Amino acid sequence: MKLQQLRYLKAIVENNLNVTVAAERLFTSQPGVSKQVKLLEEELGLEIFHRSGKHFTHVTPAGRQILARAEHILTEVENIQSLARDFTDEASGTLRIATTHTQARYFLPPLITRFRRRYPRVHLLIHQGTPPQIAQMAATGEVDLAIATEAIALNQELLMIPAYRWHHCVVVNKAHPLTQDDRLTLNAVAKYPIVTYVHGFSGRGRLEQDFAHAGLTPEIVLSAADSDVIKTYVRLGLGVGIIAHMAYEPDQDKDLSYLDARTLFTENVTGVGFRKGVYLRQFMGHFINLLAPHAGEEIIDAALKAQRQEDVTALFDGLPLPEH
């Protein structure tokens, strides 16, 4: 049995059992991958993949258990390599982050500036996607850290550290009738067409729940993943914008009115997720400390060694979560 064979198994599953695509991702040939899988199956005396002709159709029951152990072995190999790199040169490497547009555009820039001062030789890669895509990228090892409000805690392969809390705000054109109200209410907001985030982004689900609990069904005329897109259509008069409050920039958005909505909508918590059992290099731990400075290094270190989300959650019980 060879490590490369286990890598082939993992790649095949990650690419929906398409051996050709898996081979391309691994910069090798499709016949070579198929041959190594067959050799491994012959060595083990069982099928890992069920076949229809030359194509894999599904993973066998035995194959599922083998793949779970292969994943664990490959993670440990990566951990050993990362540990060695920390001892040989802990100040250089690559930090791969997956996050949403809102986090990348409005929250991360000052933290990345501070991180770069400490680790100028670390190369940063930022991938943007939907929260489920972000969680999946972290779960499969495509990225080191996932930063999002939704989906991370739902992925059984990840552990999530709460980083900060935030709320939504309402943005409208300067002449909008809502700017004349003494006190903003859900009823008042729901009278107008609404422009906000797509499902799965930036607390959209909680927004809908808040309206539903008040017995309201707002007319959402446009949904977007990008806060800047939402503000653009508010400027065009399409509707009332509901965005993350950090996405309102007073200097850039002078033509829009900011209406505080923290009492109207449920508070949100953004977290940072990472794979269970993975060894995170020193600079990765430092980046998590920047994201969650309220915890301190000892609690962060304990969270990185945890095996269950319940254990991580218990570490943060009673700690005041900062608001951004």
pLDDT digits (tens, 9 = 90+) for 12-41: 988 888 888 888 888 899 888 888 888 888
Residue 322 forms part of a structural domain: no
Radius of gyration of the chain measured on its C-alpha atoms: 23
Give dist(CA 95, CA 144) in Å, integer.
Answer: 7
List, in sequence order, the alpha helices (H) in 45-185.
61-89, 101-102, 108-118, 131-139
Domain end, chosen from 48, 64, 83, is at 83
Q: Are residues 129 and 156 in the same domain?
A: yes
Residue 321 forms part of a structural domain: no
Q: Give the total number of structural domains in the chain.
A: 3
Higher pLDDT, 235 or 45: 235
By residue range, what is the domain housing residue 67? 3-83
Residue 172 forms part of a structural domain: yes
Q: Are residues 172 and 245 in the same domain?
A: yes
Domain end, chosen from 83, 109, 125, is at 83
Q: Are residues 158 and 272 in the same domain?
A: yes
Higher pLDDT, 177 or 130: 177
Confidence class for position 322, pLDDT limits 50, 70, 90: confident
Domain end, chosen from 83, 116, 145, is at 83
Residue 179 forms part of a structural domain: yes
CATH number of the domain within which 228 lies: 3.40.190.10
Give dist(CA 175, CA 187) in Å, integer.
Answer: 19
Q: What are the tokens at 324? A: 């951004």
Q: Are residues 280 and 256 in the same domain?
A: no
- Could you tell me the pTM of the whole model? 0.72
Give dist(CA 169, CA 166) in Å, integer.
Answer: 10
Residue 324 forms part of a structural domain: no
Q: Are residues 147 and 289 in the same domain?
A: yes
CATH number of the domain within which 66 lies: 1.10.10.10
Above 70 in pLDDT, residue 151?
Answer: no
